[in-house]
């Protein structure tokens, strides 16, 4: 089987309930991401599963204990239900909040990919059309309420060019028979994925194109042209 770069998995997400839970979490509980050399601007973490179940991100990095739920997970019953629906061993689970205007520099998370036995799942909770997530130089248009697998062993970078923060629930899972079956059900659609994504989000894509053209700078116009090309190809079945 070839290496999977990314995939949309058929895992139901109660997005409205999770969004409500995120809004009531105390602001002071969020902590800056440890890898300060990897980003510019604000990038905060809130742990729901961590080594030893602790909330201190620095202590987590130095902790060799098994992963366990943190106290915060009790405040997020909808997230707990989602994690329970993943019928595989869960390692870390955390909210990652990328502030408006912030950038995560290109990097790789070594050996973190499905074929190696560990899968990173992204659940977009709050996002906006101007979030740009690139994996191996390909933009992934992640939408709220979806579940995305990304091969984190590949180079990836991210910029939040919107006016509101972007929050993902990120879960690292150990691959087992159940997760392999989930992947098998989506792999058959891999060749159609880009076309299906564009068509499924046609209205959003058109909105992004129009807003980019209003900016009028060369970079925005170039991106608008590229999105328009992808949309035309998708509608034509190419």
List, for residues 72-128, the tens digit of each pLDDT value.
999 999 999 999 999 999 999 999 999 999 999 999 998 999 999 999 999 999 999
Q: What is the spatial distance between Cα 96 and Cα 29, in angstroms, rounded to a whole number?
A: 12
Indicate the average pLDDT of the chain. 86
Q: What is the spatial distance between Cα 23 and Cα 10, in angstroms, rounded to a whole number?
A: 26
Q: How does residue 197 score in pLDDT terms, banded at 50, 70 and 90?
A: low
Q: What is the spatial distance between Cα 145 and Cα 156, in angstroms, rounded to a whole number?
A: 21
Predicted TM-score (pTM) of this structure: 0.79
Do the beta carbons of residue 55 and residue 29 sit within 8 Å? yes
Average pLDDT over residues 8-16: 94
Q: What is the spatial distance between Cα 141 and Cα 38, in angstroms, rounded to a whole number?
A: 22
Confidence check: pLDDT of 196 > 70: no
Helix, coil or strand: residue 230: helix
| Superfamily of the domain at 6-188 | B-lactam Antibiotic, Isopenicillin N Synthase; Chain (2.60.120.330)
Q: Which of 216, 212, 193 is nearest to 204 (CA)?
A: 212
């Amino acid at each position: 089987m070839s290496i999977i770069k990314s995939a949309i998995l058929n895992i139901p997400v109660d997005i409205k309930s999770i969004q409500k839970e995120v809004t009531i979490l105390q602001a002071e509980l969020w902590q800056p991401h440890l890898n300060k050399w990897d980003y510019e601007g604000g990038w905060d973490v809130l742990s729901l599963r961590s080594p030893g179940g602790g909330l201190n991100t620095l202590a987590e990095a130095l902790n060799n204990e098994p992963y366990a739920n943190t106290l915060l997970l009790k405040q997020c019953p909808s997230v707990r239900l989602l994690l329970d629906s993943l019928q595989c061993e869960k390692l870390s689970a955390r909210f990652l909040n990328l502030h408006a205007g912030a950038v995560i520099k290109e990097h790789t998370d070594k050996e973190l990919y499905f074929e190696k036995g560990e899968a990173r799942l992204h659940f977009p909770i709050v996002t906006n059309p101007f979030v740009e997530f690139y994996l191996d130089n390909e933009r992934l248009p992640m939408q709220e309420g979806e579940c995305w697998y990304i091969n984190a062993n590949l180079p990836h970078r991210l910029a939040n060019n919107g006016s509101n923060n972007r929050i993902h629930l990120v879960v690292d899972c150990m691959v087992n028979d159940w997760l392999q079956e989930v992947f098998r059900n989506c792999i058959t659609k891999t060749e159609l994925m880009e076309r299906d994504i564009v068509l499924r989000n046609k209205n959003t894509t058109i909105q992004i194109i129009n807003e980019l053209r209003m900016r009028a700078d060369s970079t925005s116009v170039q991106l608008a042209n590229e999105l328009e090309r992808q949309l035309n190809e998708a509608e034509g079945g190419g």
